[in-house]
Amino acid sequence: MKQILLELDDRCARDLERVAPAGKRVRAEFIRLALRRAIDLALDRATARAYEKTPLPADLVLPDLMGWDERNELAVHLAPRPQRAKRRR
């Protein structure tokens, strides 16, 4: 792992001490998770801007998306809904 020296303003340092006290050994993991979330959000925003600039074609069908994550919002939206089996009484 790489180490990074980070300077925080007083308010941020105080709030960090409240949610992840130094003595509890959770601070580093808290900061890693917060940083990971911030990076993921930034990448998502960049992806959204790219799709706004060049949208997907409106005539996409499910086979066009083969190989994507099946839970991907686009694939789920285009996938045929499974039929429920009728219950016998």
Domain map (residue ranges) of the chain: 1-53, 56-84
Q: Note whether 68 and 74 are within 8 A (CB).
A: yes
CA distances from 15 to 8, 35, 42 (A): 10, 16, 23
pTM for this prediction? 0.57
pLDDT for the residue 24: 77
Q: For the segment 34-86, what is each residue's pLDDT rounded down to a tens digit?
A: 999 999 999 999 988 888 888 878 887 777 767 766 666 665 555 555 666 66
Q: Count the alpha carbons within 13 Å of 68 in the hemisphere toward its beta carbon.
A: 16
Q: How confident is the model at residue 25 (pLDDT cuts 50, 70, 90)?
A: confident
pLDDT of 7 > 80? The answer is yes
Instruction: Identify the residue with better confidence: 82 or 31.
Output: 31
Q: How confident is the model at residue 32 (pLDDT cuts 50, 70, 90)?
A: very high
3-state DSSP assignment of residue 37: helix
Span 8-27, mean pLDDT? 92
The secondary structure of 43-79, three-state, reads: HHHHHHHHHHHCCCCCCCCHHHHCCCCCCCHHHHHHC
